[in-house]
Structure 1
C-alpha cells in the first residue's frame, strides 16, 4: 500500500499559506481543513475558519507537550500556531493590496525565517525550559535498551 508523503519540500515554501497548506504535514493540513475549516468558514468566514484550524492545531500540540513535559501548558505553543494563522491573513491582505510579489529567492527565506524564528521563540524555548527534550531522549534510550535486551535474549535462545 503506497503511503502519501507528509512533506513537500517545506524549505521551498514561498508564503506561509504555501508552507502550511501544501508543504508541511500535509495529512494533518488536509484533516484540519475537512474537520475544522470546511464547517467553520461558510458560517463565520474564511479568516475565522483559518484561525480555528490553527487554534485546534495549537491545542493538539499543547496536549502533546503536556504529555511530554508533565508540566502545565503555558499557551506559548497555541500562540505560535495563532501567529502563523494571523501571518497568513496579513499575507492575503498584502497580496490583495499590491501586485508586487517577492521573487522565490527572497520569499523562501522570508517564509522559513518567520516560521523558524517564531518556533524558536514560542515552541523550542518552552520545550527546553521544561526539560521535555531530555525526557524524550530518556524515553528513546529506554526503548533502545529494551530492544537491545530483546535482541540479546532472542540471539541467546537461537545460539543455544
Structure 2
C-alpha cells in the first residue's frame, strides 16, 4: 500500500463531475443559500431544530452544493465554497436575530476587525451597535490598505520570478524521492513558500476593501516564516482569519465564563485543582479538534475542487495538532511558558521548519498530483 505523500495516494476517493454552470448563475444559487441561512438563523427559535442540528443541516447543504454545481473557474469555486461555510460557522455563535440582512452580511467585519477581542465580541453581540472611528483612524486604515495592496503585489512578483523557477518539473516528481532527500525537503519548503506568496491575492482583496471602507482589519498572515515553534506558527502567524473563527467557535467567551464559574464555585482547594486540570484537558481536546476539523474541511475542498480526496490533508493537520499538543504539554511540564529567545529561538526555528519540510509533503501531495496532470 502506498504511503501518504508518495506518487500514488494511499486512499483515492472520487466523485462524479459536477454540473458546470456559468459563474453568474452560481452566484445566484449561493445568494439564495445565504438568504436561506440568514432566515434560518434569524428565526431559529421558531424552528423544530436545535441550534447544533440547525448548524449541521446548513453545513451539510453547503457541503453538498459544491459537489453538485460548479463553475469552470477553480478560483471562483474556491470562493463559493469558503465564504458561505465561513458565514454559517460564524453565525452559529452570534445573535443573528438582532441583525438586519445587510448588517448580517457586514457582521463578518467584527471577526476580522483590528481591535481587542472584548470590543469585537461586544460588536458581534450588538452590545455596541456600530463601530465608530475618527477621521484620523479611517485615514490611517486606508493608508494601511494601500500598503497591503502593494505588499500583495510584491508577494505575487516574488512567487513568479524567484520561487516558481526553482520548483521541479513536473511538480509531482518530488513525490518519487525519499522523504529525507535534500531535494524533497527543499522542494517541500519551496511549495509552502509558493502557497504563502500566492495568497498575496488575499492581501490585494482585503487591502482594496480597507482602502475603500476605512475600517482597519487584521492581516491574513503575521510573518509566518519567522515562527520558532509549531504553536506560534498555527496560533499567531498562519491564516489568522481561520484562527479567529475557530477560537471563537471552540474557545467562545461563554465557555471561558463557564470554566471560570466552575472553578470559583468550589471552595476546597483540591477540588479546585482537579477542576483546573479538567478544564486544561478539555481545552487541549478542543484545540486538537480544531486541527481535525481543519483537516476535514480541506478534504471537502479537495473533493469539491478536484473531485477526489486522499485523506492526506486530514492526516497532515492531525499531525500538526499533535505537535502543538506535545509542545503545550512539554511547556507545562517544564514551566517554560515564555517565547523562545536567543539561541533557543534559533534551534526552535530550525526544528519548526524541519517539521514542515518533513510533513508538508503530505499536505502538498494532492495538489502536486492534480496540477501535474492538468
TM-score by length of 2: 0.32
- In 2, the alpha carbon distance for the partners of 1:108 and 1:82 equals 21
- In 2, the alpha carbon distance for the partners of 1:83 and 1:40 equals 26
Higher CA-based Rg: 2
Question: Which residue does the alignment assign to 1:74?
Answer: 310
Question: Which residue does the alignment assign to 2:360?
Answer: 119
Instruction: Tell me how large the CA RMSD over aligned residues is.
Output: 2.5
1:27 CA drift (Å) = 1.1
- In 1, the alpha carbon distance for the partners of 2:283 and 2:353 equals 24
- In 1, the alpha carbon distance for the partners of 2:255 and 2:317 equals 18
Question: Which residue does the alignment assign to 2:347?
Answer: 106
Alignment length (residue pairs) = 132
Deviations 1:26-65 (A, max 9, x none): 1110101111343889687011101111111111111111
Deviations 1:61-82 (A, max 9, x none): 11111222211x2211011111
Question: Which residue does the alignment assign to 2:326?
Answer: 90
The unaligned stretches of length 5 or more in structure 2 are 1-213, 260-278
- In 1, the alpha carbon distance for the partners of 2:247 and 2:291 equals 10
Question: Which residue does the alignment assign to 1:150?
Answer: none
Equivalent residue runs for 1:16-35 within 5 Å: 16-35=230-249
- In 1, the alpha carbon distance for the partners of 2:357 and 2:221 equals 16
Shift of the 51–40 alpha-carbon distance from structure 1 to 2, 3 Å rule, reads: farther
Shift of the 115–37 alpha-carbon distance from structure 1 to 2, 3 Å rule, reads: farther
- In 2, the alpha carbon distance for the partners of 1:66 and 1:113 equals 29
1:126 CA drift (Å) = 2.3
Deviations 1:7-30 (A, max 9, x none): 111111121111001000011101
1:110 CA drift (Å) = 1.1
The unaligned stretches of length 5 or more in structure 1 are 139-160
Equivalent residue runs for 1:35-54 within 5 Å: 35-38=249-252, 45-54=282-291
- In 1, the alpha carbon distance for the partners of 2:287 and 2:307 equals 29
Return the structure number with greater helix share.
1
